[in-house]
């Protein structure tokens, strides 16, 4: 069975500081990896995804993530956060032969303080 673990349920950080949100996945086969953001009372929005190729993926709003196959990780980073980045972040995976079924982690609540 495949699962996704987000290692931190809450991450408080000061404005303009760097942040890393950690995600590990377990799977015996190749997966596709996604990060979604959920702002309060809204649906999920894709930040970035890894399908193949370069292991460093750049997304919207200045976020990037690095795929590490040996460590089965896909951590999300931003060098300088803004108050507006306060939201819940979800790491998710799909397997190519299982269609588009997204398996989500439990989410990380990022709280950016002034």
Q: Under the criterion CB under 8 A, does residue 102 sit at the interface with another protein? A: yes
| The only residue of 3, 16, 46, 111 in contact with another protein, by rule CB under 8 A | 46
- Kindly state the number of chain residues that form the binding site for another protein, as judged by CB under 8 A: 26
The nearer residue to another protein, 10 or 80, going by C-beta atoms, is 10
Q: Under the criterion CB under 8 A, does residue 100 sit at the interface with another protein? A: yes
Cβ atoms of 43 and 107 closer than 8 Å: no
| The only residue of 16, 98, 111, 113 in contact with another protein, by rule CB under 8 A | 98
Q: How many CA atoms lie within 13 A of 57 on its CB side?
A: 22
Q: Is 85 exposed, middle or buried (0-12, 13-18, 19+ CB in 10 A)?
A: buried
State how far the Cα of 12 lies from the Cα of 33, in Å rounded to an integer: 24
Cβ atoms of 107 and 20 closer than 8 Å: no
Cβ atoms of 105 and 91 closer than 8 Å: yes
Q: Under the criterion CB under 8 A, does residue 60 sit at the interface with another protein? A: no
The nearer residue to another protein, 17 or 60, going by C-beta atoms, is 60
Q: Under the criterion CB under 8 A, does residue 55 sit at the interface with another protein? A: no
Residue ranges in contact with another protein by CB under 8 A: 31-32, 36, 42-46, 49, 51, 90, 92, 94-107
């Amino acid at each position: 069975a495949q699962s996704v673990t987000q290692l931190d349920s809450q991450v408080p950080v000061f404005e303009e500081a760097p942040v890393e949100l950690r995600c590990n996945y377990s799977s015996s086969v190749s997966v596709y990896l996604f990060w979604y953001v959920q702002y309060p009372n809204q649906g999920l929005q894709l930040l970035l995804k890894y399908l193949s190729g370069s292991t460093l993926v750049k997304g919207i709003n200045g976020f990037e993530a690095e795929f590490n196959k040996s460590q089965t990780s896909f951590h999300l980073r931003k060098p300088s956060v803004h108050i507006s980045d306060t939201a819940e972040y979800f790491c998710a995976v799909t397997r190519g032969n299982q269609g588009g079924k997204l398996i989500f982690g439990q989410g990380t609540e990022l709280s950016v303080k002034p």
